[in-house]
A and B are shown apart, each in its own frame.
Chain A
């Protein structure tokens, strides 16, 4: 049980933290979730307002709102792009820090060691995940009637 050595320097759980900027870690974690939330709420509000302006639901958007479908499409695309760009940024960060604490053995997904690469991997998964979630709505626009 006796340890072979006592670390003298301050031990740090994220030795590669200085290779990347904090923003490059945090942005891919936060931006896709905000983009997804915003797209959901805005799409919901716009489509509801256009299709149900009064006591009776309409079969197509209220007059003068024909451009609505395109707007929803653009919002969805923006969400998807934000997600993918975040994933790319995070992937780049991950590449820079992939070997952080690699001496601990098991792969990152298992053990989570190396705080910088851990957050970078999260960024990749979050970016891809929210893009996929937004993509469902994108598909919905093509296959479902708007109202």
Chain B
């Protein structure tokens, strides 16, 4: 007695659909490997931070005047992008475009403030080890923000062209994963470079 198994005869969606889309899976994997990259970057930072004979760390605590509000700006941009994603699912052209567009603008503001922050630092990339770490790690993050901004810009244009709707929201969801990831990584970078010195991890010569 043997039974040959039958092929499923259910109706299946065709194409890029939500979390079944290839791009969605690809983006999850990309986020994992990029997350690992920042893991190794922050490992390098802490590796230096716990070295006892560290001559390079700046004596004063890092200023939060620019970085803290900037963090809030980036988080708000994530909310905007999340709204755009909901807009696409509910077939609202306006919410899509406004959400993505304001996410983009807030991201640009973040980059601008971050450039000011870079400029306010008394050291440079090649001044000492702390400078190398600070500019490399935040630079890596900036590069990811810029890439995220390009993605948001493309998505805004495509949304404005009316490409997306309830059954065609996968590209927005995929881009949104990346943007949320960039924000989450900033929290880790911010915590490492700005908060841990206040918690007693070394600073000063």
Contact = CB atoms under 8 A, between A and B. Distances in A.
The reply to whether A and B meet directly (CB within 8 Å) is yes
Interface string B1-19: 1111110101000000000
Interface string A52-76: 0111000000000000000000000
Interface residues of B, number: 11
A54 B53 CA distance: 7
Contacts, number: 30
Contact of A55 (B1, B5, B53): B53
Nearest to A41: B43
A8 B2 contact: no
Interface in A1-44: 3-11
B6 A4 contact: no
A95 interface: no
B8 A49 contact: no
Residues of A contacting B: mostly: loop
A11 to B, nearest CB: 4
Interface residues of A, number: 14
A54 B3 contact: no
B51 to A, nearest CB: 9
A52 to B, nearest CB: 9
A7 B2 CA distance: 10
Nearest to B47: A45
B8 A6 contact: no
Contacts of A9: 6
Contacts of B2: 3-5
A61 B189 CA distance: 31
A143 B5 CA distance: 58
Contact of A3 (B3, B8, B10, B50): B3
Interface in A96-132: none
A53 B6 CA distance: 66
B4 A6 contact: yes
A133 to B, nearest CB: 22
B122 interface: no
B52 interface: yes
A122 B159 CA distance: 46
A44 B174 CA distance: 38
Given A4-B1, A5-B1, A54 B52 contact: yes
B28 to A, nearest CB: 16
- Nearest first, the 5 closest Cβ-Cβ pairs linking A and B are A11-B5, A3-B4, A54-B52, A7-B6, A7-B3
Interface of B: 1-6, 8, 10, 50, 52-53
19 contacts: A3-B2, A3-B3, A3-B4, A5-B1, A5-B2, A5-B4, A6-B4, A6-B6, A7-B4, A7-B5, A8-B6, A9-B6, A10-B6, A10-B8, A10-B10, A11-B5, A11-B6, A45-B50, A54-B52
